Amino acid sequence: MRKPIIAGNWKMNNTMADTKALLTDLIPLVADANAECVVCVPYTNIYAAGELIKGTNIKLGAENVHWADKGAFTGEISAEMLLELGVEYVIIGHSERRQFFGETDETVNKRTLTSLAKGLKPIVCVGESLEERQSGAYTAILEAQTEKALVGVDKTDLCNVVIAYEPIWAIGTGVTATNQEANDTIAIIRNKVASLYCRDCADNVLRIQYGGSMNPKNVADLMAMPEIDGGLIGGASLKAEDFSKVVKY
């Protein structure tokens, strides 16, 4: 069984005061959730968030990680630094990083390999642009992103990998992929993983989330689709009540 995982991606939002208020409200609201609940927060909030959610069922996540152990990489954060603060999950290769910060399939792969080697669970993002969707090129693009992200990843590590399918045209736009579109596209990604590893691991251990304007209103229908194992939530993760409704779809 693939346990659903709903992760909030706060992006560059929430001061320390906002973090305290949001998590204090969220903790009781999701205490009886069946899905795994994760909050991926800005670096500056990780310590405070970790203290607040100690002893609760909420897991801590970061929004990026560097591949090197340490050294002259101004502005970067290592896996060890994250682990020290209780971080369990880390988002890698979000389309905003690919689009605005020069993230490539190669750096996504390096970050993924380091995360797994150090004991962090990567949430690896893949997704196509509107143009790539409309031209039909998206299948090949998603297959290539998936394959390149996983180069060198051992089959035994697939249980610690989460893939997030986030169509760029659905992020922050209010336009969601239809349930069928999201399901069928995730099936393409899962089939690719099956061809790279084995059918059994793709079907039984690898969780693939949908992300892009997921909210309290559309979550139940998306989660009813057989291929969708959870969500990566932007806007709707910034309000405790909305996020708790998504987590408890």
Catalytically active residues are 94, 166
Strand partners, 123: 91, 162
Number of C-beta neighbours around residue 199 at 10 A: 12
Q: In whole angstroms, how close is the CB of 74 to ligand 13P at the nearest point?
A: 25
Q: Do 84 and 53 touch, CB atoms closer than 8 A?
A: no
Q: In whole angstroms, how close is the CB of 230 to ligand 13P at the nearest point?
A: 12
Task: Please identify, using beta-carbon distances, which residue of 96 and 157 lies nearer to ligand 13P.
Answer: 96
Task: Please identify, using beta-carbon distances, which residue of 120 and 126 lies nearer to ligand 13P.
Answer: 126
Q: Which residue is nearest to ligand 13P (CB)?
A: 234
Task: Please identify, using beta-carbon distances, which residue of 211 and 230 lies nearer to ligand 13P.
Answer: 211
Task: Please identify, using beta-carbon distances, which residue of 8 and 78 lies nearer to ligand 13P.
Answer: 8
Q: Do 127 and 167 touch, CB atoms closer than 8 A?
A: yes
Q: In whole angstroms, how close is the CB of 200 to ligand 13P at the nearest point?
A: 29
Find the farthest-apart pair of alpha carbons in the chain and give their distance in angstroms, rounded. Answer: 48
Residue 137's contacts (CB-CB under 8 Å, 6 or more residues apart) are: 128
Residues composing the chain: 249
Q: In whole angstroms, how close is the CB of 71 to ligand 13P at the nearest point?
A: 28
Q: Which residues in this chain contact ligand 13P in the complex, by CB under 6 A?
A: 9, 94, 166, 171-172, 211-214, 232-236
DSSP per-residue codes, 151-163: TT--GGGGGG-EE
